Chains A and B, each alone.
Chain A
Amino acid sequence: MASEAAEKGTGLVFHPMDQFITKPLFGDGAVGMFTITNLTLWLFLAVLGIIGLMVIGTSRRAIVPSRAQSVAELAYGFVYKMVEDVTGKDGVKYFPYIFTLFIFILFSNFLALLPMSYSPTSMIAVTAVMGFGVFIAVTVLGFVKNGAGFLGLFWVSSAPLALRPILALIEIISYFVRPVSHSIRLAGNIMAGHAVLKVFAGFAAITLVSPLSILGVTAIYALEVLVGFIQAYVFTILTCVYLKDALHPSH
């Protein structure tokens, strides 16, 4: 594979996965739990970007908004409406949590599109923390809000009685698969996009192919901009859907 090609010294070298290596930002050595790594740097930049847009951008509290403020308001309105539409009025109090997820994923995805950057949302550990976090929070919330009634989510009362146990089994399996698909969908999309970008860029080493390769990189880049937004949207709306199930478990 890639490293073999490097050993043999053939002209074409692909290391599409190297961009995902987490390494210490200062000096060499092992990556411990508290080591400041390239991941830390890009998470920090995402935080800076979010503060820049949502806090500094809105600092003038203008009735007629500036550009930054209207983007912040747009993001706010977009997610707020989503939460309200999907979960209903009683889901609105969880809006800050959902908005945190949305804006973090959005900024990570877009910052990851900068050359030489690191994409935190391509790491399964990162997305799994969010995916399982949502899963656990929603499950706990469902039981706290509805007690045993939350189990009604798995008992499809509109189906014929004979089918219900089978459906319940399917529902339970699908319920536990949720966090896995939720987190792998995001990580997989971002990782695949960035790996493809690297592969296309690797072809640029061949002079004859390089124009095509650059064209390909450009096209994939445009696609990745779209994917970056859509994945943030999908993650957020699925969170809303899961939250709705927790708040209103009846089918």
Chain B
Amino acid sequence: MATETHGAEHAAQAVSACVDSYGSAIGMPQLCGEWIPNQIFWLVITLVVIFFVLSRIALPRIASVLAERQGTITNDIAAAEQLKRKAEDAEAAYEKALADAKAEAQAIAQKTRDDIKGELDAALAKADEEISAKAAESAKAIDEIRASAVDAVEEVAKDTAAAIVTALGGKADDAAIAAAVTARVKG
């Protein structure tokens, strides 16, 4: 390769085997054996430091923070669940009270309605009774009036008959007239 021959030319002036006199890399710096011990040394130190810092301080701390947060979240969720259950209980109690009140109101309304109906029925029955009594009374009165009318007719007929007989110059025999009128009226 061109680079290699070039590197060889300047080897005398070069700072190292991997850098030419212009400060440029010869070939791949990654493959420069001169630097490898240095790189490995510092890398190992770095990794050891990082490992101890992480495993002694950072990772346990983060683990505890995460666990604590998980605990807090679990507790909060449990508390929320409990509160929710309480709210549900309260709602159920409220609904029950509401239903009870409704039922009671309905019962009271029903009872009132029944009472009113009973009173009304009683009043109606009484009124009917009174009406029928009055009607019977009236019928009786009418019958009486009718009977008395018949009697009056008989009386008037007898009186009239007697008067006519007298006017015609006859002698009014009360008994005969009465018998005749009664027979006629019945007729």
Contacts and interface: CB of A to CB of B under 8 A. Distances in A.
Interface of A: 1-4, 6-7, 15, 17-18, 20-23, 28, 30-35, 37, 39-40, 43-44, 46-47, 50-51, 54-55, 58, 61-63, 65, 69, 72-73, 76-77, 95-97, 99-101, 103-104, 120, 122-126, 129-130, 187, 191
B29 A73 contact: no
Contact of A46 (B24, B26, B46, B72): B46
27 contacts: A1-B6, A4-B3, A7-B22, A17-B27, A18-B29, A20-B30, A21-B18, A23-B19, A37-B38, A50-B54, A54-B57, A54-B58, A55-B53, A63-B68, A63-B69, A72-B58, A76-B59, A76-B63, A96-B54, A96-B55, A99-B54, A104-B47, A120-B39, A123-B39, A124-B31, A129-B40, A130-B47
B64 A3 contact: no
Contacts of B38: 22, 31-35, 37, 39
A58 B61 contact: yes
Contacts of A47: 46, 49-50, 53
Interface in B69-117: 69, 72
Per DSSP, chain A at the interface is helix
A18 B68 contact: no
Contact of B16 (A2, A31, A76, A101): A31
A21 B41 CA distance: 17
Identify which of B36, B51, B63 gathers the most chain A CB atoms within 10 Å of its CB. Answer: B36
A9 to B, nearest CB: 12
B24 A58 contact: no
A101 B44 CA distance: 11
A226 to B, nearest CB: 22
A58 B53 contact: no
Interface residues of B, number: 52
Nearest to B26: A3
Per DSSP, chain B at the interface is helix
B49 A129 contact: no
Interface of B: 1-3, 6, 15-16, 18-20, 22-32, 34-47, 49-51, 53-55, 57-59, 61-66, 68-69, 72
B2 A129 contact: no
B58 A22 contact: no
Given A30-B34, A47-B46, A17 B16 contact: no
B2 to A, nearest CB: 6
Contacts of A62: 65
Contact of B28 (A17, A31, A51, A95): A17
B2 A4 contact: yes
Given A15-B25, A22-B39, A61 B53 contact: no
B153 to A, nearest CB: 121
A11 to B, nearest CB: 16
Nearest to A120: B43
A6 B72 contact: no
B40 to A, nearest CB: 5
Ranked 4 nearest A-B pairs via Cβ:
A54-B58, A20-B29, A96-B55, A22-B35
Nearest to B23: A18
A69 B30 CA distance: 36
Contacts of A72: 58, 62
Contacts of B20: 3
B22 A50 contact: no
Contacts of A55: 53, 57-58, 61
A197 B83 CA distance: 60
B43 A129 contact: yes
